[in-house]
Chains A and B, each alone.
Chain A
Amino acid sequence: MTIQFKKGVLELCVLSMLKQDDQYGYDVASKLSGSINVADGSIYLVLRRLKQEEYVSSYLEESSGGPPRKYYVITRKGEQFLDQLIEEWELLVDNVNSIINGTAAQNFQLVTAQNQSVEFEDNE
């Protein structure tokens, strides 16, 4: 997996997990590192990037017998972004499968790993 592609997939996975449940960064990291070969530390990178984009927010929660721990939560903007990511992922999977199966149609569109929402800006 290229680095860019992995980043995109990680964002998809992290957001997906947070949609199912608010959770501590540690839980996200340990669940993911079972499935995807990434350093635990890079999960916090992804969480921070998602927080900067306001797809995710965090709050401190008391934990018994210890310091308050940081809980991560998906935002509504994040859920919309997640829907978009899932759509692109499924399209990619379909297209790649049809290439593998040799059933690719004449013209298909390969979705790139970049998830950029297209915003039309008039720079006149």
Chain B
Amino acid sequence: MTKNEFIAVMERQLIRLPKADRDDILSDYEDHFARGMAEGKTEEQVCADIGDPDELALTYLENLPDGSKGAPYVPAQEPQQAEAPTYQPPVYGAQDAAQNAPYVQQTQPTRSFDRTTSIVIVVLLSLFIAAPVVFMLVQTVLGLFGAGIGFGVASIAFLVSGVLGTSVGVAVAIGVLLMSIGFLAFGGLFIVGGIALIKCIIIIIKWYVGECKKIIEEGRF
């Protein structure tokens, strides 16, 4: 098999991929052939060691960036079906500065923001939106607990006066005792509400931290 046959087979198999990815992959193999032959090997020798182009291409298709395996890749942009193989080996000669740009920009999964910017965004979001919201929620919790405790104390007061005040009249005493129970229940309601709100806050915070991590890792919303 010649170098051009090898490249042609790979290019045909990889036609589903966007051109940038395809060119990036094929440039690796162009490099490999160039180095191999510079060391005196023939195209056939390099081909013998390099592996089967169909199998190699298939494995590239299996490991798509979005994690899908083997599914037909439907590109969002250019209509791949109509495109004839157009891979041009790099033109040797005048090298312009653009060639030295970091190669990785073509093939990384798309980020809207780089790492530093995404960290800044997360910090700003946390300071100006998340923190005030959390403060508000925490204050509500404190308010609920406060009310609960207040009612609880009132309940005890009623209990004490109800017990002590049996001389005033049994009916009144019973009434006061019932109020004590009522206030206790009411206060308990507030405490329960406060606890529930705390659990909600924890869930919200966990979700928010997760989202922040994702923004930093992936560089987009």
Contacts and interface: CB of A to CB of B under 8 A. Distances in A.
Contact of B25 (A44, A58, A122): A44
A25 interface: yes
Contact of B102 (A40, A52, A57, A69): A57
A54 interface: yes
Contacts of B50: 39-41
A51 B108 CA distance: 8
Given A48-B60, A66-B34, A68-B90, A39 B51 contact: yes
Nearest to B213: A119
Contacts of A68: 90, 95, 99-100
Contact of A42 (B51, B102, B103): B51
Interface stretch (B79-87, B182-190, B202-210): B202-210
A30 to B, nearest CB: 8
Nearest to B101: A60
B109 interface: yes
A39 B104 contact: no
A24 B29 CA distance: 12
Give the residue among B28, B36, B56 with the most A Cβ atoms within 10 A: B28
Nearest to B93: A67
A24 to B, nearest CB: 7
A33 interface: yes
Contact of B206 (A26, A62, A70, A122): A122
Contacts of B104: 51, 57-59
Interface string A38-82: 011110110111011010011111100011111000000000000
Nearest to A39: B51
B63 interface: yes
If over half of A's interface residues share one DSSP class (helix, strand or loop), that class is named, otherwise mixed; here it is mixed
Given A25-B32, A54-B108, A59-B103, A42 B56 contact: yes
Contacts of B95: 62, 67-68
Interface string A10-39: 000000000000001110010001000001
A57 B24 CA distance: 13
A26 B50 CA distance: 11
B49 interface: yes
A67 B28 CA distance: 12
A114 B28 CA distance: 27
Given A39-B49, A39-B52, A45-B56, A66 B92 contact: yes
A61 to B, nearest CB: 8
A86 to B, nearest CB: 23
B13 interface: no
21 contacts: A24-B31, A26-B32, A26-B36, A39-B51, A41-B50, A41-B56, A45-B56, A45-B59, A45-B60, A48-B107, A52-B65, A52-B107, A57-B102, A59-B100, A60-B100, A60-B103, A62-B95, A66-B92, A68-B90, A69-B31, A121-B210
Given A26-B31, A67-B34, 19 more contacts: A24-B31, A33-B49, A39-B52, A42-B56, A44-B29, A45-B59, A45-B63, A47-B28, A48-B25, A48-B60, A52-B63, A57-B104, A60-B103, A61-B100, A68-B99, A122-B203, A122-B206, A122-B210, A124-B206
